[in-house]
Amino acid sequence: MKVRLHCSFLVLFKLPNWCQVFRVPPNKNVDEIMGKVDGKIALVTGAAMGLGEADARLLTAEGARVIMTDIDDERGQAVAEEIGADYVHQDVAEETSWQDLMAHVGRTHDRLDILVNNAGISIIADIETMTTAQWHRTLGVHLDGTYFGCRYALPLMKKRGGSIINMSSIVALQGAAEYFSYSAAKGAIRSLTKSVAAHCQSKGYAIRCNSVHPGLINTAMAHAALEHGSGLKFNEAEDQEALRLQLGLGEPNDIANMVLFLASDDAKFVNAAELVVDNGATTIMQAR
């Protein structure tokens, strides 16, 4: 037997509490509706520009208290003041900078809910032309920085749980001859992420750890890659948006939206995953 309920039926009975959770209260000001990470404490490295800046802006807009770190103090401080975040100078390759930073976060907030290990550099060199110093510097920023971040975040996340988001790249899934050290570092971050997630789960910590793998995104780093590869000077184009679309570049917010998802409780069952955000570049064969 089929039973059809009309709208008028609903007004005769009070909905149970579990149903009401999904309803926005009447006359609720849109500005008062909680964001996806409302009240959470978030730390974003390499946040003065590019993907890190986009992450910091979106997390702040969604209610998080954000601590931004970078070595570009002028730019980082300006962004932090604009969006209402905190800014701390940090070279992520230096272990002591992490020890000092996490001690500060612990004293100020007594916890950390979200860590975005985003800081990175890109040195254009293949295995035959790269110097050992360049190799160590790239791995220092990317791999050591991510290791230190995860290592020193755990004590602040153990009690309440949290989300660690490590920025990798599609070059972790492919080869990249002229970005040899960058590719190696991003591949290592991919594996490190899974091991951190496995460790936290084995210890019973409610800490998720995932990696994000962007494709080519409209940032200064991508502009440098384009100029090196084709001589194209993106910033000199008359219509940069048209050129962006022509080249198939993503936007920083495409990555920030994935970071927001992973940082939020919407992703409570997403762990040890590698989230590729590249418009299919790694899997869709392009016509020649």
Catalytic residue numbers read: 182
Q: Which of 173, 168, 171 is nearest to 196 (CA)?
A: 168
Residue 184 CB-half CA count within 13 A: 20
Length of the chain, in residues: 288
φ and ψ at residue 44, rounded to 5 degrees: -125, 120
List, in order, residues 6 or more apart from 239 with CB less than 8 Å away.
Answer: none
Could you tell me if 105 and 112 are in contact, meaning their C-beta atoms sit under 8 angstroms apart? yes
Residue 255 identity (one-letter amino acid): I
Q: What is the DSSP letter of 216?
A: S
Q: What is the CA radius of gyration of the chain?
A: 21
Task: For tokens 């679309």, name the residue.
Answer: 245
